[in-house]
Amino acid sequence: MTEQVELTHPSKPTTTHSSMEDSILSSPTFPISLKFVDLTYKVKLAPPHKGGGVFRSTSAASTAHQERTILKNVSGAASPGEITAVLGPSGSGKSTLLNALVGRLHPTPHASFSGSITANDGASKPSALRRRTGFVAQEDLLYPHLTVRESLVFCALLRLPRALTRDAKRRAAEAVITELGLGKCADTLIGSVFVRGVSGGERKRVSIGQEMLVGPSLLVLDEPTSGLDSTAAHRLVLTMHGLARKGMTVIMSIHQPSSRVYQMFDAVILLSEGCCMYCGRGRDAMDYFASVGFTPRFPVNPADFMLDLANGVAQVDYQIDADKSNMKQSLVTSYNKLLAPKFMACISDKTEVEDNVHTGRQTPQDQQDPINHYSIRWTDQFAILLRRSLKERRHEAFNYLRVTQVMAAAVLAGLMWWRNDIRDVRDRLGLLFFFSIFWGVFPSFNAVFTFPQERAILGKERSSSMYSLSSYYLARTAGDLPMELVLPTVFIFITYWMAELRSELEAFLLTLLVILSYVMVAQGLGLTVGAAMMDAKRASTLVTVIQLAFLLTAGFYVEKIPPCMRWLKYTSFTYYCFRLLIGIQYGGREGRFVLVRFNHGGSEEGEAMFGEVEGTSGVIVSIAALAVMFVGYRLLAYALLRRLKV
């Protein structure tokens, strides 16, 4: 799809924004020179299945050891004011290298990571680097129901320093919209597979804009041009080129740059199966490959030529004076013998020169703005995240399908239990139990998807130190409440009066209160299971099993529960809710009389249950149990989220 955009040339100063926003989009105050030496990343592979391995290893040796080397002694450097491009075929380790550079690669029991990464010759702490690094991942992680403008404004409100006013932050977002040529689609939804939204290129620019907002010193982009046509790709790299020329250090991986895009790369790193084949100035690459015996007979796009070499493909129009049978190995050996030592010597020399320019010492602004702190106060984080959550979920909250589902259930139940007589105890208990089933299952199922769906975005935003987990958690769960509470209120209102349950206002309000509290407890269960599994499918399966156990032990279906299973009912919030609802209907004099008659000759279990309901202590126990579960589930969900590495 052709990108219909008008990009202002990035290096051309915009006249519309104030000096504050201008400074956000102009030269970084803290230039970063990055060096990385001998980065090696190895992963242990799961043993292959009998009858055919799942993983194919790149070498026989690594198969034997069930270990795969993804990066092998990769070294390089990236300087302010330049674009460093990481080239290589698919699977050559580009994304892994970029993840390593932004500190997202950690040693684990299944993976080892070694080598050194230093910023400004070691003068900048990793934490300082993190705050000044913008990382645009290959996959765009954005909220689909927010517009382009909302996505950037919320990001600005959360990420820009508290010293800026809200208006200044909004203007900064507008400046980014202008800079990235997003004006025409500023009020269009981001969209997703299920929601129509902006184009892939526009979405990518929103992701880049979110990073540009904070004026990072180091901007790392993983395949920013994938899925774009060559014109759009060229425009995007041109924008990056402009940012680099303002003093930013830009590193990007790219699959297949056109020759005019290649011209904009100051430095190039070529990877093949995790090994470096070239590292140096972009314009010197062809001369280097000629010097080691690889020359094209006709002028070609240097990037195409290098990708052919990295793939080990010798085209007929290439003149090859080296060992053709093992091109890749020969190129890696040449790099290690010729280029790597020169490059290592060069980066240490360059550092001494550069250090005179960028000392790497912390600036006064740095010291005022400690890196580990969030940009804004907790209360502001909460308020902004709550607003964002409500906006993001507005479509879902009043999704007509959901509303129809609830209304249909309410009317159907109202008709089924139309003008139910208080003396039809079995029927009335059936209706109360139906309330408990419906309002137990519905919210817990909706809540199960919350955290698994947001895990990736949460990870991205938290790793950019945008907000604390507690503010996100409270805002996210509070954002669900309107939908979670409005629908049951309407439901109860319809069904209660159609079924003619106890007509005192107090009884109605108490029923509503019990159901709303119960909904929040059930929502807590869904959140907890979702946070524990972080996988929507597995979490919804587990919630089904738990809900089934809770419903079966709530006392409606089975009265004589075997003693060994009886404990289960005390863990069931459905049991407590059901008891409270019965208490409201049959708690008064008349109700007790009806119940006693109903239970005359009834089972021991049934007597015991209704006996408990009638007493004040039973009510208190039920309320206390629901309160404990409400707090307990939410604390547990929070603790489970904390254990995630974000």
Do 41 and 69 form a contact (C-beta atoms < 8 A)? yes
What one-letter code names the amino acid at 559?
E
Nearest to 265 by CA among 247, 246, 280: 280
Stretch that binds ligand ATP, among 84-92, 413-421, 539-547, 637-645 (CB under 6 A): 84-92
Q: How far is CA 219 from the centre of its chain?
A: 19
Least spacing, CB of residue 64 vs ligand ATP, in Å: 17
Q: Hey, what are 520's tokens?
A: 């929040």
76 contacts ligand ATP (rule: CB under 6 A): no
Residues 236-255 that bind ligand ATP (CB under 6 A): 255
Residues 474-493 that bind ligand ATP (CB under 6 A): none
Stretch that binds ligand ATP, among 10-18, 85-93, 189-197, 371-379 (CB under 6 A): 85-93
Least spacing, CB of residue 434 vs ligand ATP, in Å: 48
**45 versus 243: smaller Cβ distance to ligand ATP:** 45
Distance CA 546, CA 633 (A): 14
String of contacts with ligand ATP for each residue 527-566, x by CB under 6 A: ----------------------------------------
**55 versus 638: smaller Cβ distance to ligand ATP:** 55
**DSSP of 111-177, one letter per residue?**
EEEEEEEEEGGGTS-HHHHHHTEEEE-SS----TTSBHHHHHHHHHHHHS-TTS-HHHHHHHHHHHH
Least spacing, CB of residue 432 vs ligand ATP, in Å: 52
**121 versus 140: smaller Cβ distance to ligand ATP:** 140
Among 24, 25, 70, 529, binds ligand ATP (CB under 6 A): 70
Least spacing, CB of residue 251 vs ligand ATP, in Å: 13
Stretch that binds ligand ATP, among 88-96, 354-362, 446-454, 541-549 (CB under 6 A): 88-96
Stretch that binds ligand ATP, among 1-9, 89-97, 331-339, 382-390 (CB under 6 A): 89-97
Least spacing, CB of residue 4 vs ligand ATP, in Å: 27
Distance CA 492, CA 129 (A): 54
CB-neighbour burial class of residue 294 (10 A; exposed 0-12, middle 13-18, buried 19+): buried
Q: How far is CA 47 from CA 67, 93, 427, 482, in A?
A: 10, 22, 58, 49
Do 451 and 531 form a contact (C-beta atoms < 8 A)? yes
**71 versus 208: smaller Cβ distance to ligand ATP:** 71
Do 483 and 401 form a contact (C-beta atoms < 8 A)? no
Q: Are strands 294-296 and 318-320 parallel, antiparallel or unpaired?
A: antiparallel
Least spacing, CB of residue 108 vs ligand ATP, in Å: 9
Rg (Cα) of the chain, in Å, rounded? Answer: 31
Among 48, 53, 81, 91, binds ligand ATP (CB under 6 A): 91
* Count of CB atoms situated within 10 Å of the CB of 101: 23
Least spacing, CB of residue 70 vs ligand ATP, in Å: 4
Residues 105-164 that bind ligand ATP (CB under 6 A): 111
* Count of CB atoms situated within 10 Å of the CB of 556: 21
Size, binding site for ligand ATP by CB under 6 A: 13
Q: Hey, what are 9's tokens?
A: 């040339």
Least spacing, CB of residue 243 vs ligand ATP, in Å: 22
Q: Where are the alpha helices (DSSP H) in 14-74?
A: 19-25, 60-64
Among 10, 28, 80, 93, binds ligand ATP (CB under 6 A): 93
**137 versus 520: smaller Cβ distance to ligand ATP:** 137
Among 33, 75, 95, 272, binds ligand ATP (CB under 6 A): 95
**68 versus 241: smaller Cβ distance to ligand ATP:** 68
Which phi and psi (to 5°) does residue 105 adopt?
A: -115, 120
Least spacing, CB of residue 583 vs ligand ATP, in Å: 55
Stretch that binds ligand ATP, among 90-98, 227-235, 413-421, 492-500 (CB under 6 A): 90-98
Least spacing, CB of residue 642 vs ligand ATP, in Å: 24
**94 versus 130: smaller Cβ distance to ligand ATP:** 94
What are the CB-based long-range contacts (under 8 Å, 24+) for 406-412?
A: 406/442, 406/487, 406/488, 406/490, 406/491, 407/490, 407/491, 407/494, 409/438, 409/491, 410/490, 410/491, 410/494, 410/495, 411/494, 411/498
Q: Hey, what are 426's tokens?
A: 């079995």
β strands within 223-264, DSSP E: 249-254
510 contacts ligand ATP (rule: CB under 6 A): no
Least spacing, CB of residue 34 vs ligand ATP, in Å: 18
Least spacing, CB of residue 68 vs ligand ATP, in Å: 6
> 3-class secondary structure for 147-158?
EHHHHHHHHHHH
Residue linked to tokens 């009858």: 51
Residues 358-417 that bind ligand ATP (CB under 6 A): none
**313 versus 545: smaller Cβ distance to ligand ATP:** 313
**137 versus 213: smaller Cβ distance to ligand ATP:** 137
Least spacing, CB of residue 43 vs ligand ATP, in Å: 4
88 contacts ligand ATP (rule: CB under 6 A): yes
94 contacts ligand ATP (rule: CB under 6 A): yes
Angle at 66 between CA 65 and CA 72, to 5 degrees: 80
Among 96, 210, 225, 389, binds ligand ATP (CB under 6 A): 96
Q: Hey, what are 446's tokens?
A: 């909706």
Angle at 576 between CA 571 and CA 577, to 5 degrees: 130
Among 75, 79, 92, 210, binds ligand ATP (CB under 6 A): 92
Among 15, 19, 90, 617, binds ligand ATP (CB under 6 A): 90
Q: Hey, what are 565's tokens?
A: 């299973």
Q: Hey, what are 599's tokens?
A: 């239970």
Distance CA 190, CA 200 (A): 9
Distance CA 254, CA 238 (A): 14
Among 7, 25, 32, 43, binds ligand ATP (CB under 6 A): 43
48 contacts ligand ATP (rule: CB under 6 A): no
Q: Hey, what are 361's tokens?
A: 């010492």
Q: In a 3-state reduction of DSSP, which class is residue 477?
A: helix
Do 489 and 516 form a contact (C-beta atoms < 8 A)? yes
Distance CA 310, CA 278 (A): 10
The contact set with ligand ATP (CB under 6 A) reads: 43, 68, 70, 88, 90-96, 111, 255
